[in-house]
Amino acid sequence: MEEDLKKTLSKIAMTIRGLSMDAVQKANSGHPGMPMGCAELGAFLYGVLLRHNPKNSKWINRDRMVLSAGHGSMWLYSCLNLSGFKLSLDEIKRFRQLHSATPGHPEYGLTDGVEATTGPLGQGVGNAVGLALGAKILAQKFNRDGFPIFNQKIYCIAGDGCIMEGVSSEASSLAGHLRLNNLVLIYDSNKICLDGNLVECCSEDTKMRYKSYGWDVYDVDGYDFDAMEKVFGEKQEKPTLIILHTVIGKGSPHKAGSSKAHGSPLGAEEVALTKEALGLPKEEFYVPQAVHQYFEHRLGKDAELEAEWNQLYKRWAGKYPDLAVEFEKMHTQFLPQDLEEKLRALEIKAPIAGRAASSAVLQVLGKMLPQIYGGSADLSVSDLTMMKEFPIISPGNFAGRNIKFGVREFGMGTATNGIFLTEMITPYCGTFFTFSDYMRNSIRLAALSHYHVIYQFTHDSIFLGEDGPTHQSIEHLAALRAIPNLHVIRPSDTNEVKMAWIAALRYRGPTAIVLSRQNLPDLSSTKVSYDEGVGRGAYIVYASKGEPDFTLFSTGSELHVAVEAALRLEKIGKKARVVSMPCWALFDKQSDDYKDSVCGGSIGTRVAIEAGSELGWHKYIGIDGIAICMESFGHSAPAEDLAIEFGFNVDAIVERLIASSR
């Protein structure tokens, strides 16, 4: 590398240190150590290596840089500001303040140039694996000889915490298996944790671990630009781990190399001493004119890079018009106008398990919507997530539409988020509902950032039967319903399953479709349009004439039991209304008038019937309402025996309601 360039990169690195120290100190909150330790890396990545255009941060073929060590967010914000993204110095000064574009951990969609929402350690590693897999899928689908429409690389920075978290192991194992040679994981190896020295809690050979996954591994001095240039320029045949040896808080006279630089500001006195030691001006948030000039020049080259790609795309689209149509469909998340009509016309013979009905819908969607890709955590034969007419993605071959994630639920969740972040694919993933616990953190971040991800969770209640309470979901509906922005839909039959998929495809955020293992009958009253039924979140499926004595609210496999109970109540002189309530979140978005028409006024005793925890139901049935729900774990037994044991059969429900009215 030329000496003049190295001098400029050193100035950029010092500027990153200065901005990071000042912002953390001004906020009196944050992590200065990683930004100071990795400042040279930031200068190299944003000053030399990354192929992107900060003036158009959504250029589809840009390189991606994911900061998995999200506590080091000031490193990223400094780099984004200096390199020309829409992140002003005023926002840097508002680090960690209310409604700023510089929150404590990076958030996708909030800050220009942030490629993923990270924070919980290891998440970003999984996101990067998903991004790399998605980029490989797109390259194989769209690239033709002489037309590299997709050839970006995915970079990710992880710290010791990310490497120790189990999710990074799951995701890295998958990346090695699939030979994702467009993925570069940079391990900021400073040997310091928040609690102290790394040796106090970890003594593994990380290099050998990653080699065993099938990765190439390199050691690099984090302050040697020549070494960085050499290693990052190596031809990739496998995913690559670069172990970057750094000093946390580098430059701080009294806190460098210690955990004191990790999770709290250096302190005003130490900041002053550090600036003096580094030869930085005392001025806060100082950016040298030479750094501004360098990046202004770089912005011109970045714009040229995208302009060249735009010309390439134009020639490609002219030569391959059918592919260009597919590209636009995927990029816009195309939904045909007759989607609902076609799904309603789809013949699915009941009784049938919810999981099987969903599988039938998925086969149709796979043919209609080129943007749908997905897979399962080694359960596709049970959760029925396989699109049968498309191949399975395999090592080095990304032409398929089905992904075998292996028994790696958390890794699957983070990778699926990353696949969405390609901004070309609508991903889905499946597993048993009880295993959503393994995925909860990734689901939560998908909800936080409105990732359009679809989860197919099956075996949804005690009625999966003989596998017993270890696999029977009790609290999971309540737990997922508690996550803001997540739509949880529990359909009752084939009609609601079809509409659940429409809801999931229309919603620009994550959706969990929760499905039964056991066969369920169809109800004629659920065979209504999306706007009259599932799209409302709740709707009346049965009503006696006159004012009801009981209103039964139910979901999923218990809805047909609720209808049968209403019919039985009528025979003994009690009027009943039955409300299907597949999605609380959608119902809560309806007008007050509509909500009143479903569950307002004098509707008798309100009753919830659902084979899960009652938590949350009293919002709809009131404090005096009756919750026929699970109050314990289940048992290992056939489903019909469990229905009797826990009171989910018609006789038990009617008896309990009549007793309550005496």
Of 502, 526, 550, which marks where a domain is finished?
Answer: 526
**High-pLDDT (> 70) share of the chain, %:** 100
In a domain? residue 307: no
Q: How many whole angstroms separate alpha carbon 388 and alpha carbon 390?
A: 6
Q: How far apart are CA 636 and CA 248, in angstroms?
A: 52
Q: Which of 427, 325, 412, 421 is nearest to 366 (CA)?
A: 427
Q: Are residues 470 and 569 in the same domain?
A: no
Name every residue whose Cβ is closer than 8 Å to that of residue 334 and which is 6 or more positions away in sequence.
328, 369, 370, 371
Range of the domain at 646: 537-660
The verdict on 577 and 489 lying in the same domain is no
Residue 612: give its domain's CATH number: 3.40.50.920
Whether 662 shows a pLDDT value over 90: the answer reads no
* C-beta of residue 218 within 8 angstroms of C-beta of residue 234: yes
The CATH code of the domain that includes 144 is 3.40.50.970
Rounded Cα distance between 223 and 127, Å, is 27
The answer to whether residue 427 sits within a structural domain is yes
Specify whether the CB–CB gap between 548 and 661 falls below 8 A: no
As a whole-number percent, the residues of the chain with pLDDT over 90 amount to 99
Catalytic residue among 165, 170, 306, 409: 409
Statement to judge: residues 556 and 433 lie in one domain: no
Q: What is this structure's pTM?
A: 0.97
Contact 102, 90 (CB under 8 A): no
- Give the helix ranges, DSSP H, for 426-482: 436-448, 476-481
pLDDT on residue 646:
98
Q: What is the pLDDT of residue 237?
A: 96
Does residue 505 share a domain with residue 558? no
Give backbone dihedrals phi and psi of 254, rounded to 5 degrees, phi first: -115, -10
DSSP-H helix ranges across 321-421: 321-331, 339-345, 354-368, 380-383, 409-420
Measured between alpha carbons, how far is 498 from 361 in angstroms, rounded to an integer?
A: 6
Question: Which residues partner with 397 through β-bridges?
Answer: 394
| Average pLDDT value for residue range 299-309 | 97
Residues 119-131, mean pLDDT to the nearest whole number: 97
The answer on 473 and 452 residing in a single domain is yes
What is the token pair recorded at 262? 């990790």
Q: Of 458, 492, 526, which marks where a domain is finished?
A: 526
pLDDT beyond 80 at 385: yes
Do 599 and 619 fall into the same domain?
yes
In the predicted model, what is the mean pLDDT of residues 186-205?
Answer: 94
pLDDT at 381 over 80: yes
Cα atoms in the Cβ-side hemisphere of radius 13 Å centred on 344: 14
Instruction: Say how many domains are in the chain.
Output: 3
Q: Are residue 80 and residue 212 in the same domain, yes or no?
A: yes
The answer to whether residue 332 sits within a structural domain is: no
What is the spatial distance between Cα 12 and Cα 286, in angstroms, rounded to a whole number? 11
Q: Look at residue 430 and tell me whether its pLDDT is greater than 80.
A: yes
Average pLDDT over residues 70-89: 98
Residue 330, in any domain of the structure: no
Q: Helix axis angle, 289-319 relative to 3-27, nearest 10°?
A: 100
Q: Are residues 434 and 453 in the same domain?
A: yes
The band of 52, judged by pLDDT with boundaries at 50, 70 and 90, is very high
Average pLDDT value for residue range 355-382: 97
User: Token digits for 444?
Assistant: 């939560």
* Token pair listed for 244: 């970057």
pLDDT, residue 484, reads 98
- Mark which of 280, 302, 324 sits at the end of a domain: 302
- Tell me how long the chain is: 662
Q: Same structural domain for residues 66 and 189?
A: yes
In a domain, 310, yes or no: no
* Band of pLDDT at residue 387, cut at 50, 70 and 90: very high
Same domain, 488 and 431: yes
CA nearest neighbour of 473 among 460, 491, 492, 488: 460
Tell whether 321 is covered by a domain. Answer: no
- Mean pLDDT for the chain overall: 97
Query: Do 198 and 245 have their domain in common?
Result: yes
Reply yes or no on whether the pLDDT at 258 is more than 90: yes
Residue 266: pLDDT over 90: yes
Distance, in Å, from the CA atom of 329 to the CA atom of 224, rounded to the nearest integer, reads: 45
Tell me the average pLDDT across 528-542. Answer: 98
Please report whether residue 231 resides in a domain. Answer: yes
Give the span between the Cα atoms of 15 and 27, in whole angstroms.
18
d(CA 344, CA 495): 7
Predicted pLDDT of residue 561: 98
Note the pLDDT tens digit of each residue in 143-192.
Answer: 999 999 999 999 999 999 999 999 999 999 999 999 999 999 999 999 99
In a domain, 254, yes or no: yes
Q: Check whether the bond before 351 is cis (ω within 30° of 0).
A: yes
* pLDDT category of residue 263 using cuts at 50, 70 and 90: confident
Q: How large is the average pLDDT for residues 348-356?
A: 98
CA angle 623, 628, 632 (to 5 degrees): 105
Helix (H, G, I), strand (E, B) or coil at 318: helix
As beta bridge partners, residue 64 has: 154
Cα dist from 13 to 54, 74, 150, 278, whole Å = 19, 13, 30, 11
**What integer pLDDT is reported at residue 661 of this predicted model?**
82
Q: Is 2 a catalytic residue?
A: no
pLDDT at 581: 98
- 555 and 517 within one domain: no
3-state class of 298 per DSSP? helix
Q: Measured between alpha carbons, how far is 421 from 67 in angstroms, rounded to an integer?
A: 14
| DSSP for residue 482 | T
Distance, in Å, from the CA atom of 544 to the CA atom of 298, rounded to the nearest integer, reads 72
